[in-house]
Amino acid sequence: MRATVPPNPFDELMDYAKSLSDGDTREQIVSAIFQTSRDICKETITYTKREKLHETEKLDRIFTSKIWGFPIMLAMLAVVIYITIAGANVPSSLLAEFFGWFEGYITLAFEKMHAPEWLHGILVLGLYRGTTWVVSVMLPPMAIFFPIFALLENYGYLPRVAFNMDRLFKKSGAHGKQSLTMAMGFGCNAAAIMSTRIIESPRERMLAILTNNFVPCNGRWPTLILLASLFMAAGYTGGWKTLMTASVVVAMVVFGIVVTLTVSWVLSKTALRGMPTHYTLELPPYRRPKIWDTIVRSTLDKSIYVLKRAVTVAAPAGVLTWVLANIHIGDTTVLAHVAHLLDPFARQLGLDGYILMAFILGLPANEIVLPILLMGYLSTGALTEVDGLHSLKQIFLDHGWTWLTALNMMLFSLLHYPCGTTLINIYKETKSKKWTFVAFALPTGIAIAVTFTTAHIAQWLGLI
């Protein structure tokens, strides 16, 4: 029994421990643990192939070299995108043709059953067409891009990317680990927001959260790749065309990274001032992944996941868009009204009302922006028989698209507000409405500013 009961025994215990401890306790503890590990290893491990131990170091000297690190990174990205574009063309057209052929039979069946015109409209022209477009346009590039990306990831190349980027992030006042969370953002921004938990300092974590959106995620890769391949290499043919397209996409990614770094730098000088924390980034050894497993899993997991998200949102959106496009107020449809309303502002950004509307309706998921846009265009009465990438381009051209429209849409897609899921995650992680709003408003502001500038410079230079 103790004579006096302290107000809080826990506090007293802590105080007592504090009085015992001196400055380098942690160091002594850690070094004792390290020493024990070393002793155990000395007695239990034998190395039979000394020369094998340094393979990783040798490779790293190339992949993370100051001279070769960045060129190799960009070249890798270009090759991946090149393969994606070159490989996706044919299967995309085949799928589109197949769906078009099948649509004929469905229409026939509707006629046989004497189904009313509006039902055919909603189900076939809205739902079916919208969904099959998504599948044929998005599935092939995803089925090529994601497995290659996953292979690179599993070989251990991604941490090297992070390592190369690390120096740049530190220079911009951010945490080096932000390069890791950024790399994660290439997959999914919503997941990357959660991964910012690996950053200890709240200031640097906020930087990582606010700027994560500037790298394209799964939902935006297809948009970038598709628009680049349709519009950005018009003057070229064959292999050169694909190469040009790939370069444009790579340029987009680089631009996104530049924006990430710039915004981090500005924020760390203004609203989130502070010095970057020191840390060590560990590079894992290179490992040969189980190739077949990786391919199958990334195809199934990622492609199907993105597609499912796109289709489940695109299908109802298809119906909604069709309905909006067929309800008339006066002599124009609701859809045209909305698009018309947005049009003057959108024009300033080098876009049009339909594109802006697609981005707004696409807030829940970036995957559905392009499908919504297509449905919007198709519903304007121009019910062309769409049977491949060529006719896809025709739809865009019919609505007055130029390469500048495509460029601005790509820029807007790259820079605009994060998707709904990501915003929800940002709120969950920051527990702050204010910062969630900043995470929404900041990219949007930048997207508007950049597209506005691009559009006006191009017009001013007489490029269009």
Least Å from the CB of residue 283 to other proteins: 9
Contacts of 451 (CB under 8 A, 6+ apart): 349, 350, 351, 408, 411, 412
Closer Cβ to other proteins, 64 or 93, answer by number: 64
Closer Cβ to other proteins, 26 or 434, answer by number: 26
Least Å from the CB of residue 117 to other proteins: 40
Closer Cβ to other proteins, 48 or 270, answer by number: 48
Least Å from the CB of residue 356 to other proteins: 28
Closer Cβ to other proteins, 53 or 119, answer by number: 53
The whole-angstrom separation of Cα 175 and Cα 168 is 10
Is 392 in contact with 230 (CB distance < 8 Å)? yes
Q: Which residues pair with 333 in a beta bridge?
A: 328
Least Å from the CB of residue 198 to other proteins: 5
Contacts of 426 (CB under 8 A, 6+ apart): 193, 209, 418, 435, 436, 439
Where would I find the H helices in 53-201? 55-63, 69-112, 117-120, 129-155, 157-171, 178-185, 189-195
Closer Cβ to other proteins, 187 or 318, answer by number: 187
Measured in degrees and rounded to the nearest 5, phi and psi for residue 237 equal: -130, 160
Is 376 in contact with 340 (CB distance < 8 Å)? no
Closer Cβ to other proteins, 86 or 188, answer by number: 188
Closer Cβ to other proteins, 302 or 416, answer by number: 302
The whole-angstrom separation of Cα 355 and Cα 376 is 9
Least Å from the CB of residue 270 to other proteins: 26
Closer Cβ to other proteins, 19 or 270, answer by number: 19
Least Å from the CB of residue 456 to other proteins: 37
Nearest to 399 by CA among 441, 442, 358: 358
Least Å from the CB of residue 59 to other proteins: 13
Closer Cβ to other proteins, 158 or 357, answer by number: 158
Contacts of 288 (CB under 8 A, 6+ apart): 155
Where would I find the H helices in 362-419? 369-378, 389-398, 403-415
Residue with tokens 């040798």: 58
Which residues in this chain contact other proteins in the complex, by CB under 8 A? 9-10, 13-14, 16-18, 20-21, 25-26, 28-30, 32-34, 36-38, 40-41, 43-50, 52-53, 55, 150, 153-156, 158-159, 162, 177, 180, 183-184, 187-188, 190-192, 194-195, 197-200, 218, 282, 284-285, 287, 289-290, 293, 297, 301-302, 305, 425
Least Å from the CB of residue 462 to other proteins: 43
The whole-angstrom separation of Cα 16 and Cα 2 is 16
Closer Cβ to other proteins, 198 or 334, answer by number: 198
Is 372 in contact with 358 (CB distance < 8 Å)? yes
Closer Cβ to other proteins, 127 or 152, answer by number: 152
The whole-angstrom separation of Cα 123 and Cα 322 is 9
Name the helix (H) or strand (E) containing 328.
strand 328-329
Maximum CA extent, the chain: 96
Least Å from the CB of residue 6 to other proteins: 10
Closer Cβ to other proteins, 125 or 138, answer by number: 138
Where would I find the H helices in 186-333? 189-195, 202-211, 221-231, 238-269, 291-298, 304-326
Least Å from the CB of residue 423 to other proteins: 14
Name the helix (H) or strand (E) containing 445.
helix 433-460
Read off the tokens for 183.
């790399």
Q: Which residues pair with 329 in a beta bridge?
A: 332
Least Å from the CB of residue 347 to other proteins: 36
The whole-angstrom separation of Cα 425 and Cα 436 is 9
Least Å from the CB of residue 342 to other proteins: 32
